[in-house]
Amino acid sequence: MAYDNSARAARAQATRARVLAAAGHSFLTRGFAGTTIGLVADEAAVSQETIYKAFGSKAALLKAVYDVTLAGDDDDVPLAQRPEALAVFQAQTGEEAVAAYAKLAQTIGARTDPLVRMIMGSRDTDANLRSFVDTIHQERRTGSAFWVGRLHEAGWLREDLDVERAADILWALNSYEPRWLLTDRGWSADEFTAWLADTLARALLR
């Protein structure tokens, strides 16, 4: 008889979810410096050894919290295969594609902004945070090139732009700072999304 390890896998997944939830709450309320593996272990009702075995370090735990926050859950489904991202691929015009992308960007931003604000505000205090910021900047730049590739393949990208330059433009316009500047001025999520879609269309499309 084959061994059924589904119950064990479910327990492991539940433990991981508790750890990520406890870590996310601690990072947001205590900051990176104020969060310890011991505190997270106590709040998640697990041993510190369990956390170290699963994540390796506090910095790696922060990255895992960020990745789950960005995706919206811990399911093993790439962002590009999720419904809000598929809308970009399913667009029939360039304008529809950038509008769908702007909506995707706002959805992700709403999830990640509190955590990223904490990270950005403390990055000069810890080498791990500075490295983390470099990592997420590079991930966003890689993602920008991926989405611009869709515009290029469909023939929607401006003729005077190559993919690399267009990816730089998308990366800059969809960075955290423009969104924070405008939303801190009182812009609603819908207003920012409409502005980003319009700006991307003017900057990138034929």
Query: Taking the domains of the chain in order of start, what are their residue ranges?
Result: 6-71, 79-204
pLDDT value, residue 166: 98
Other beta carbons within 10 angstroms of residue 143's beta carbon come to: 19
Question: Looking at the DSSP assignment, which residues form a beta bridge with residue 94?
Answer: none
pLDDT value, residue 177: 93
Percent of the chain scored above 70 by pLDDT? Answer: 98
Question: Looking at the DSSP assignment, which residues form a beta bridge with residue 157?
Answer: 205
176, 120 contact by CB (below 8 A):
yes
The fold for domain 79-204 equals Tetracycline Repressor; domain 2 (1.10.357)
**What average pLDDT is seen over the chain?**
93
Say whether pTM exceeds 0.85.
yes
Residues of the chain whose pLDDT is less than 70?
1-5
Hey, do 6-71 and 79-204 end up sharing a CATH topology, with the first three levels equal? no
Superfamily of domain 6-71: Homeodomain-like (1.10.10.60)
CA–CA separation, 105 and 172 (whole Å): 13
Counting DSSP H helices and E strands in the chain, the numbers are 10, 0
- Burial pattern 35-47, b for ≥16 Cβ within 10 A else e, equals bebeebbeebebe
CA–CA separation, 133 and 175 (whole Å): 12
